[in-house]
Amino acid sequence: MECLLFDDHSESLFHWRERGLWGLTCLHIDAHLDVMEDNFSPQALLDLGPQATSQTLRRYRDEGILTCANYLYPALRAGLVERLIWVLPPHILPGDPRTVSVLQELSHWVDLPLADYRAFENSEQIVRGTLFHRDFLVCTSKSLSALNLQDCPNLVLDIDLDYFVRACDDVTWQTPHELYQQIGPLKPQMVTVATSVSGGYTPAWDQYLGPVCCEVFGGSPEAYREETRLLTSGGDEALKELLETAPSFMRPAVLARLGRLEEAVQQDSSYRPRGLDLVARCLERKRPRDGLRLLGSDLGEDRDKIRLALLLSHQVEDWESSCRLFSRLQKSRGGVRRGEIKLFELAAQAYQELGRPKDAVRVLEQALSLAPELGGINLSLASAYKEAGRRRKAIRALQRAVRWSRTRISSASTLPLARDWFQQLGQPELARRARLQWRRLLS
């Protein structure tokens, strides 16, 4: 059994492919689902199908389409992952996962197909259903024993360190050893561990948990148990003693906790947090003003800085800055690409909030040229056309949005809205059809 450690979680997909693994049960232990579909055009899904090469995967990653937030989507669609079990921290869904809370969380990630939406049920504190026609389960670690995964064939264990560290306060709420105790001994074909320090998901000083995970889940469940306990809850005196005996990969973490960051960085330069990771951490923790303060006003031509500033400005509802920063991104090298499709929608919302529907139309038409099949963009465009007084185009965009949504859970909001808008746009027959579709959905 291999146990691999890396930073970017999308690497898991590369390693599964390179080793010819298929039809996997993926035990995905992560604070994030990592299944987003908006980036992927039909052509991209074909390219990333069963015959995809490492070169193809790298090309799509270099283009910003395949990321740490969506790599499981093509894995599900291609059948590489046949069964996905998402083990999430209990603070993501307070209380035991329930069908309604899981569906609400899923809405942040995917527009569920209606067939999948109807399949969810709750039993033994595990929510079970399907996701893009693959078996899908959601639970916390305390419920995993009910799944009897000890002899599960084609099992892979896929861990992200941000699972162990609460984003709201950077507290390590569970150690790899405690997780192992709840999961029990497994026989995975492969263990992949992502540190996720880049992007601000895991604080740099907690990356020592990566090697610990590899040891614990790679066959030595007691490895570094006491050292990890001291690093997560020990006082200064205990940490000073640990500094004398800790293995080399842990020493920077001990020094960082003792406030001796420069010494930690001398031993491992990755322990100096990158400025952009700190800013991204503020975005993750919904502290946008702190993030904007860290960024400062001089963004230069750095696309990453401009992108983060745009996302943070949107969080504080600074619509003028959101529009200005989006315009800067468009003028930067490479412009705004399919992999950043959500930024078009954020910019359009900002223009709408400023009472500038024509600019919202312009931005959304650009997005439509990149992703003509996405229902959300067509619905947003219909709204912008309507506000701009472009009646015929609003009707066409609304029809496209309805076609997309009729098999998706978004129909729960799109169809009633379409019914009302068609009526306002002088299309009673289209309003009647939307009403009938809505009734069929309810039945």
293 token code pair:
């303060």
Structure confidence at residue 441 (pLDDT): 83
Structure confidence at residue 33 (pLDDT): 97
* Interval 350-374: pLDDT, tens: 999 999 999 999 999 999 999 988 8
Structure confidence at residue 257 (pLDDT): 95
Structure confidence at residue 124 (pLDDT): 84
Instruction: Classify strands 126-131 and 134-139 as parallel, antiparallel or unpaired.
Output: antiparallel
Structure confidence at residue 177 (pLDDT): 97
242-267 burial, b for 16+ CB within 10 Å, e for fewer?
A: bbeebeeebbbbbbbbeeebebbbee
User: What CA–CA distance (Å, rounded) separates 193 from 234?
Assistant: 25
Structure confidence at residue 385 (pLDDT): 96
Judge residue 345's burial from the number of C-beta atoms within 10 Å of its C-beta, 0-12 exposed, 13-18 middle, 19 or more buried: buried
Q: What is the pTM of this model?
A: 0.94
Domain assignments of the chain as residue spans, ordered by start: 2-233
Residues 6+ apart with CB under 8 A from 62: none
Judge whether 367 and 375 are in contact, CB under 8 Å: no
Judge whether 97 and 129 are in contact, CB under 8 Å: no
Judge whether 38 and 342 are in contact, CB under 8 Å: yes
325 token code pair:
């920063």
- The residues of the chain scoring below 50 in pLDDT are none
Sign of CA dihedral 295, 296, 297, 299: negative
